[in-house]
Amino acid sequence: MAISKIFENTEVAFRLKSDSELERAYFLFKMISHEPLVRIGTAATNFALKARLPVEGLIRSTVFDHFCGGVNEEDCLPVIDRMYAKGVSSVLDYSVEGKEIESHFDAAMEKTLKIINFADEKKSMPIAVFKPTGFGRFHLYQKKGEGKPFTPKEQEEWERVVARFDKVCKLAKEKDVEILIDSEQSWMQDAADDLCEAMMRKYNTGVPVVYNTLQLYRWDRLDYLKSLHKRAKKDGFTVGAKIVRGAYMEKERERAEEEGYESPICATKEATDLNFDETLEYILRNLDTISLFIGTHNEQSCYLAMQLMADLGIDKSDNRVWFGQLYGMSDHISFNLAEHGYNVAKYVPFGPVKDVMPYLIRRAEENTSVAGQTSRELSLIKTERKRRKL
């Protein structure tokens, strides 16, 4: 049976947006479709924040409110409830980045624990998330992954990172809340992968609770998944896999070139797409031992997942398959999938305005550089404006 095209329904896509919110979204995507504007805007914003100029209000009423749920978790509740009324769940994402001191790592862990406890009480938040570098220093992961010996002090520091992972995964297991662990740059990822595997061994004893992220712009990830899967079957644990294409392509290529090693990134976009699709299929064919979270804004990948689910007789609402998009992006995918009975969750970033700037800048740059993505958002908004006028 062929899957029907469901993403063109803009009425469903934007029904949570008032006319003025729709106008703001239009204005925003129009602005960030201009690369020079994003570059100048980013530099000006960074400067203004450093110089303590009063720009927070402006950021808040434009990019921030579009891409973030609020400055703290309570702030996000109205957004979460409104989305859930339309069948879309939320993954609260504490998006403060680049703070490399112990007190911040502890604070990020406490936030994640709080969100898991929060999620336990609310059906609208069945999943939580954290970033490895939210719990420990980037260079510590890198050193660990490279197999270089730690000093006694670093060893203690590493043990605190392991303890943070463990505390969060343990609570997730107790509360039956799935925990997604984001992936970052490849040169710190080996150590994070090993830690994720250790958590899966401990806590994925039945239906998976702990999910690692596979970035499929990396050509080695399907082989990695297959070897992890083999170990899981042999040693009696299950695998949670969040699949994404990957957000650090330019940095990855630059570093590989500078340091003279083979780039870990697929040579072309088509190769990444193929890798993504093959991995998607491998997981859907092994759902008894691997659960799946599909993090993408790519319509074709979503249609493929829907088609494979139908062909393999997997129920649309099977709890082992989730679709995920970021808040403020691709509502036409999220809300139409939910309307048709699929499990969908949106990442809802939150945090103090100036601390989520790296996240916001990544979103602006992504919407500038990803050919087609912004123009797609713009054309969908235009269609919806026209429909509302009629």
Ligand X SMILES: Cc1cc2nc3c(=O)[nH]c(=O)nc-3n(C[C@H](O)[C@H](O)[C@H](O)COP(=O)(O)OP(=O)(O)OC[C@H]3O[C@@H](n4cnc5c(N)ncnc54)[C@H](O)[C@@H]3O)c2cc1C
- Kindly state the tokens that stand for 57: 């209000």
Q: Which of 347, 351, 364, 381 binds ligand X (CB under 6 A)?
A: 347
Choose the binding region for ligand X from 13-21, 39-47, 143-151, 240-248 (rule: CB under 6 A). Answer: 240-248
Distance CA 284, CA 314 (A): 9
Between the CA of residue 225 and those of 180, 239, 243, 297, 318, what are the distances in Å?
A: 16, 9, 11, 22, 22
Distance CA 160, CA 129 (A): 19
Q: Which of 132, 240, 264, 295 binds ligand X (CB under 6 A)?
A: 295
Choose the binding region for ligand X from 2-10, 46-54, 199-207, 293-301 (rule: CB under 6 A). Answer: 293-301
Question: Under the criterion CB under 6 A, does residue 244 sit at the interface with ligand X?
Answer: yes
Shortest CB 154 distance to ligand X, Å: 25
HSE (side-chain half, CA atoms, 13 Å) at 295: 23
Shortest CB 30 distance to ligand X, Å: 19
Q: Which is nearer to ligand X, 8 or 156 (CB)?
A: 8
Question: Under the criterion CB under 6 A, does residue 328 sit at the interface with ligand X?
Answer: no
> Does residue 225 contact residue 195 with C-beta atoms inside 8 Å?
no
Site for ligand X, residues 172 to 191, rule: CB under 6 A: 182-183
> Does residue 180 contact residue 119 with C-beta atoms inside 8 Å?
no
Q: Which of 326, 337, 344, 348 binds ligand X (CB under 6 A)?
A: 326
Choose the binding region for ligand X from 46-54, 171-179, 223-231, 246-254 (rule: CB under 6 A). Answer: 246-254
Q: Which of 3, 16, 49, 370 binds ligand X (CB under 6 A)?
A: 370
- Strand order of the β-sheet with 210-215 is 89-94, 344-350, 321-326, 290-295, 239-244, 210-215, 178-181, 127-130
Distance CA 79, CA 274 (A): 35
Site for ligand X, residues 256 to 275, rule: CB under 6 A: 265-266, 268-269, 272
Point out which residues bind ligand X (CB under 6 A): 182-183, 213, 215, 217, 244-249, 265-266, 268-269, 272, 295-298, 324-326, 347, 370, 373
